Structure 1
């Protein structure tokens, strides 16, 4: 039996990450370490350790003599993250479809059901549910390094997913695409899985290009 020991810094990483990904802390916002440490009942030392780890994940940035800031959404980052997903994710999901056992398949079905509930409720955690669904389609491939890379990319994608779903009706299209993906995945139709996943990621990137360009223009 393995024993997983989670430090205070580990737990703080999860808490702050969840707040950033849920959009409760806006991009380019300074993280008030004194107030946050007081709210969480911790000292600033483990909080700074957690923020340093989140900087390595790409969610926050540090500025000398000014502390940590939540990184803003940018077109350049979206291009980078989604381009990498396009290169890696379709093949990984197709391999997972071939290798998935009954438990994996049940987990994928449950993950989509959870995502549909979050989307219908327009919950702030829809990004996390989207990430969980995609990871459920990837994990059975059994490629640990690929999984780690895609988990990191999906963390970086999560705030962009929330941005992508802002326009009315966008969530219905995403739901339809997810349902088609799962259908092909469960049928072990690897060619269709790869095609549908590539189109799904590509559609999101095209939409984000427009949204982020419009946001940049309105801010100018």
Structure 2
């Protein structure tokens, strides 16, 4: 059995990425490299490598003589991200349902159960679980499709957090996720494509009004 040893840069990437996605590092905030390096007990070399990757992934922006800032949320960016999801994800999820093996179906059930458990728990990170649930439906498509949509979901995660802030949104999402999983497990492909597209489009429409102005 092989043991995967992750580099210090990879570990730093994961930590800073999570701080951005969860809002610990707020949109528009400067990235204080000295503070992060001290907190993590690392040199600036792996930190700079991690920050460069996060900029490539669309979570940070860099400016000459100013360093990095966390990319602000914007209505235009949300529209672009969710429009891409609307174009790509329903077809990928349909293919995932078509090719899913029993192990894939079990993983999708577990992903939804983990999401619903975190929705009902204090301190649970149900937004990250939301991403993992959606990706579990895509995974049977293959690694390239999975990697492309994983990156898109990471970009969308901060917007999903914003979307779920108003009261009642989580219950709506819960109902829609159950309907999506039911259609996916049953390989009801026309229904699956329709309900998933409606789910994504509904979030996009809500975000337009929340982020306008």
Bucket of the pairwise TM-score, normalised by the shorter protein: over 0.9
SS in 2 for 1:30: coil
- Indicate yes or no: 2:151 matched with 1:155: no
Q: Which runs of 5+ in 2 are unaligned?
A: none
Q: Which residue of 2 aligns with 1:210?
A: 209
SS in 2 for 1:168: coil
Q: Is the 8 A contact 1:21 1:127 kept in 2?
A: no
Over 4 Å off, 4+ runs: none
- C-alpha distance in 1 between matches for 2:88 and 2:77: 17
- C-alpha distance in 2 between matches for 1:186 and 1:55: 37
Report the more deviating stretch, 1-10 or 63-72. 1-10
- C-alpha distance in 2 between matches for 1:122 and 1:81: 29
Deviation readout 1:61-93 (Å, 9 max, x if unpaired): 111111111111111111111111111110110
Q: Which residue of 2 aligns with 1:77?
A: 77
- Indicate yes or no: 2:197 matched with 1:198: yes
Q: Which residue of 2 aligns with 1:115?
A: 115
Report the more deviating stretch, 112-121 or 45-54. 112-121
Deviation readout 1:199-220 (Å, 9 max, x if unpaired): 000000000001111xx3xxxx
Aligned residues: 213
- C-alpha distance in 2 between matches for 1:122 and 1:140: 32
Aligned-CA RMSD value:
1.3
- Indicate yes or no: 2:55 matched with 1:19: no
Report the more deviating stretch, 40-49 or 117-126. 117-126
Q: Which residue of 2 aligns with 1:90?
A: 90
Q: Which residue of 2 aligns with 1:138?
A: 138
- C-alpha distance in 2 between matches for 1:101 and 1:48: 41
SS in 2 for 1:129: helix
Cα deviation for residue 182 of structure 1 reads 0.3
SS in 2 for 1:69: strand
Cα deviation for residue 145 of structure 1 reads 2.1
Q: Which residue of 1 aligns with 2:55?
A: 55
